[in-house]
Structure 1
Amino acid sequence: MTATDPALTALANGWAALYLLYGRIEARIERALQSQHALSVREYSLLSVLSRQHDGEGGHLQMKQVADAVALSQSATTRLVTRLEDRGLLSRYLCPTDRRGIYTDVSDAGLKLLREARPTNDTALREALDEAAKNPELAPLVTAVEAMSPTR
């Protein structure tokens, strides 16, 4: 069976191909990040999102916003934050203007790990896309992903 089985509708074919591409990319990045940095794709994504916060207006994300940014439930995001905090990669503190809010910052160790892992992530992503581009069912999706890059 191929990613785009003729028995499926056109929309289902597109979703199946997209899901296949996503799975291949995620698996390749996961292997690379785990083997070289002891970091999962989800952990990398969370560190990356949180590293872009700033002290200006609206610069810190609430946990729901973080969860949305990494495509996880709030409870899964909280567990992930706790794991990274236990590893010394993040810290949490109360929002100074709303004591109900909890913010999360990436520690110096987390920023260092993220800097070290970014080239690994980018290389694995490029390799996964290059491999997928050889598959006629996935090539149009690879082209679409590449077209979204601001450097193109």
Structure 2
Amino acid sequence: MSDVAERGLLRQWHDLLSLHATVSGALESRLQERHGIGVTEFEALEQLVTAGRQCRGTELTEVVHLSQSATSRLVARMEREGLVERSMCEDDRRGVFVNVTEEGRRRYQEAKPTHREVLAELLS
């Protein structure tokens, strides 16, 4: 790879990191301020609501881009806040399902316009 190509590649990478930080920060700030949830909680709720079914904890890990243990702590926190409920998988006792509650569904619906507003502002 030439020096010019390498510099261009690194510039694109740094631009991507900067955009991610800007959008994530704005989402975190506005979702917390207006709805009392963070961007990670919103992403988890969106997965649960739009999937139309319960999700395995491992599925949420892929969506929220956290480690398995961090996702477990996220789900525990959301459960304490009444946004989700956990249940055991009948076929595999090691498996845990996460279900959105009515409160979680309500909070997601209220926060969705804020989420989309930030995306439209910063990505359009």
Instruction: Give me the TM-score of the superposition, normalised by structure 1.
Output: 0.73
Q: 2:87, 2:38 → 1: CA distance?
A: 24
Amino acid at match of 1:121: H
Q: What residue number does 2:36 align with?
A: 38
Alpha-carbon RMSD: 1.6
1:79 corresponds to which residue?
73
Q: What's the TM-score, normalizing by structure 2? A: 0.89
Matches for 1:89-108 after TM superposition, within 5 Å: 89-108=83-102
CA–CA distance in 2 between the matches of 1:85 and 1:36?
20
SS of the residue corresponding to residue 72 of structure 2 reads: helix
Q: Number of matched residues?
A: 120
Q: Deviation of residue 52 (structure 1)?
A: 2.6
> What displacement does 1:115 show?
0.3
1:53 maps to what in 2?
51
1:9 alignment partner, SS class: helix
Q: Secondary structure, in 3 states, of the residue corresponding to 2:65?
A: coil
User: Which residue identity is paired with 2:25?
Assistant: A
**1:110 equivalent in structure 2:** 104
CA distance 1:122–1:92, change in 2 (3 Å): same
**Residues 18-37 of structure 1: CA distance to partner in whole angstroms, max 9, x if unpaired?**
01111111111111101100
**Contact in 2 for aligned 1:88/1:110 (Cα 8 Å):** yes
Say which SS state the counterpart of residue 51 (structure 2) adopts: coil
SS state at 1:114 partner: helix
Equivalent AA in structure 2 for residue 42 of structure 1? T
Gaps of 5+ in 2: none
Question: C-alpha displacement at 1:54, in angstroms?
Answer: 3.8
**What 5-or-longer segments of structure 1 have no aligned partner?**
1-5, 131-152
